[in-house]
Amino acid sequence: MPRYDVPKAAPEPLRLVQRFVNTVDHENDREWIGTAGELADFLGCDEAEVDVQRAHELREALRMLLRANNGAPLDADALAAVNRVAAGLRLEIDVGGRVVFGAEDPLARIVAVAFGAMLEGTWPRLKACRNCKWAFYDYSKNRAASWCSMQLCGNRLKTRAYRSRRARV
């Protein structure tokens, strides 16, 4: 599993959503949950409980929601995909008055964590990089971070923009 997210790792339990979204590296064409066995290992469940295609659909839907946290328009198909998985959630209130999501479906547990973060207000800080689409947690005070890493993606985009401006002159 990749460790690219360590400097901008989300706090637990939201880190689970971040790790799930980052199970594919689009820039380098790497897939870490391409088989039922790999997915079951990631989710900590039995292979019979997983559907790789459904997991990939959910992962990309969550990525689209994270892109919306970074200024992209909200995607209706992504919302529908997340809501299909969310249909398997059990909603309860614990003795402390907190909302608790329960789920038998391992993918619904990931959605439950996302919903919990939405309720707690930490969800908007989990974003997808505008350049590489990698999920990162925005620790900036003004919540305006756009890239997973200023040294990597931020530098690439700023250099590209600079070269483009220079080419026009």
Structure confidence at residue 147 as a pLDDT band (50, 70, 90): confident
Percent of the chain beyond pLDDT 70? 87
Domain count, the chain: 1
pTM of the model: 0.85
Token pair belonging to 105: 């479906």
Residues listed for the chain? 169
pLDDT given for residue 155 in this prediction: 60
**DSSP strand E in the chain: where?**
24-25, 30-31, 89-93, 99-103, 126-128, 135-137
26 falls within a domain:
yes
* CATH number reported for the structural domain that contains residue 29 in this entry: 1.10.3300
- For residue 81, the enclosing domain spans 6-168
Tens digits of residue pLDDT in 52-102: 999 999 999 999 999 999 999 999 999 999 999 999 888 888 888 887 787
Is 3's pLDDT higher than 60? no
1 falls within a domain:
no
Tens digits of residue pLDDT in 95-133: 888 877 877 899 999 999 999 999 999 999 999 998 889
